[in-house]
Amino acid sequence: MKRLLLAEWMCLFVFLLPWGAQAAACTNLLVTRGASVDGSVMITYTCDGEFHPILRRAPAAAYEPGDSLEVKDWSGKLLGKVKQVEHTYSHVGLINEHQLAISETTFGGREELRNPDGLLHYWTMMQLALERAKTAREAVRVMTDLVEEYGYRSTGESFSIADTREAWILEMIGPGPGGRGAIWVAVRVPDGYISSHANKARVGQFPMNDPENCVYSENVVSFAVEKGYYDPKSGEPFRFCEAYCPATPKNQRYAEARVWSIFHRAAPSLKLSADYHRAVPGAQPYPLWVKPDKKLSLADVFSLMRDHYEGTDYDMTKGVDAGPYGTPNRWRPMHWMVDSVEYAWERPISTQQTGFSFVSQSRSWLPDPVGGVLWYGVDDTYTTCYFPLYCGIDSVPESFTVGTLGKFSWDSAWWVFNFAANFANLKYSYMLPEILALQRDIEGKLLEVQPAIEKTALELAKSNPEMLRRYLTDYSVTQGEMVVARWRQLGEHLITKYNDGYVKDEAGEPQEMGYPESWLREVVGARPDQFLLETKKADVPESELVD
């Protein structure tokens, strides 16, 4: 039997699409069980790019000796084959039946190290790890063994890998055209700490004699020396991130700012300076992990993934660039020129370009079908609504499995959320509170009932595993479709209440609300005479006056 391994999850194939580097832009947060309120291991993923995600569930499967997978690229070109294993595990999105979850961010790194002769792109490796591994350590081994045998095709990549007990970061880059395997390092996040990465390699110095907490390719240093990326005679310690993804003002602003935002909100006592992400000379890089000031709940993690630098000097809801109603969204391109000088918009965690995002929970004290949860949402993290997909389910909500980027449809969850979020840009400061109120209401209730849902699930786990699967599936699917239905209603409400720039009152009467005074002052300051209601009387010589 040959199994076809295509671009099965559209969300993971952004790299191949023509939008370039901006499309391969994601943010991850890793929370160890000692850093979470309830002992969950959690990782997050914002998969950012202009694409329409398709949520899928893959069932477990059995294979015969000699079976293989045909690996094709997005265009359908056959790249090669991978030997199949005897049994593969089921997975919902990016969490499998054993509560193993994986996410990623692309750091690119040294473009010359991309190997077009390698077989495996990063998204293929993620899928194969979910199908073949039960733990994070095993996933690291599966992924690195696969690239050693079949070659690595992508540019630099940072993976977050979580199971019920540990969270690991694996960073990998290719050997260049015709090279073998990949260059990589994997480190375990210490218990009680959190970590983050966002499109820039983050592993610096790492222990080379502690295999319980760090593993790496045997050529990780020697290859850098051979290529001239690192000089042992410099006296400087070897740092993976500097060898394979050197810091630049552009990638510090684009990537490290998001890491700083998560760290400074989770651990304000550290008083981490903004200097590094502003590329101030001599500023120290941010640590790979920090201990949060307090243990994080699931709701806290949702909140950390919702940010436009509010309350900081880089608050995207402030200033003339936010428009009269304080929208934090900035339209691409990120970089732009004025009078031959290059500028850049801030790059926040929350962006209108997000296709989907998730927060995964892996919990050691619960049976796998109940313990593993993917809290899933589509579009911008700030205005999405997360709902639970238990890893023991056998189907997913239909509205998250349909739709295309080329045509709007009320049947597509992604388009429903995009409608509300895009319309809100017209009067953001008015509409955002209504969106967040619904978000808080739904998410709050889902979190509140989670213990009761799982109490019933645990009882079924003891007596009727088949009924457990059906119970969790019905609950996950029902909540997903409920969220979409509520968001359709929200979109219809917003376009009715805020039509043509008016704001309808409780009686349905349109009110003229105008613009904020602070913004009107900006308008007047730019063109002080144009908007005067009465023109100043011109000076006329006395000899020309007519009696």
Tell me the C-alpha to C-alpha distance, in Å, between residue 522 and each of 20, 282, 345: 36, 37, 20
Residue at 188: amino acid letter: R
Regions in the chain scoring below 70 on pLDDT: 1-24, 536-547
Per-residue DSSP letter, 256? I
Return the SS3 of 543.
Answer: helix
State residue 538's pLDDT score.
Answer: 62
Q: Residue 369 — left, alpha, or beta (φ > 0 → left; ψ -120 to 50 → alpha)?
A: alpha
Q: Where are the domains of the chain?
A: 2-319+331-354
**Whether the Cβ atoms of residue 391 and residue 99 lie closer than 8 Å to each other:** yes
DSSP letters spanning 177-236: TT--S-EEEEEEPPTT-EEEESSS----S--SS-TTTEEE-TTTTHHHHHHTS--GGG-P
Exposure class string for 231-245: b at 16+ Cβ within 10 A, else e: eeeeeeebbbbbbbb
Return the SS3 of 146.
Answer: helix
State residue 73's pLDDT score.
Answer: 83
| 244: CB partners within 8 A, 6+ apart | 109, 110, 113, 156, 171, 173, 183, 201, 224, 229
Tell me the per-residue pLDDT of 308-338, one tens digit each, with 9 for 90 and over. Answer: 999 999 999 999 999 999 999 999 999 999 9
State residue 545's pLDDT score.
Answer: 56
State residue 53's pLDDT score.
Answer: 97
Tell me the per-residue pLDDT of 508-540, one tens digit each, with 9 for 90 and over. Answer: 999 999 999 999 999 999 999 999 998 766 666
State residue 412's pLDDT score.
Answer: 98
CA gap 348, 505 in Å, rounded: 34
pTM of the model: 0.94
Tell me the per-residue pLDDT of 336-348, one tens digit each, with 9 for 90 and over. Answer: 999 999 999 999 9
| 503: CB partners within 8 A, 6+ apart | 427, 430, 497, 510, 511, 513
Average pLDDT value for the chain: 94
CA gap 84, 63 in Å, rounded: 7
Q: How buried is 386 (Cβ within 10 angstroms: 0-12 exposed, 13-18 middle, 19+ buried)?
A: buried
**Whether the Cβ atoms of residue 279 and residue 253 lie closer than 8 Å to each other:** yes
State residue 16's pLDDT score.
Answer: 31
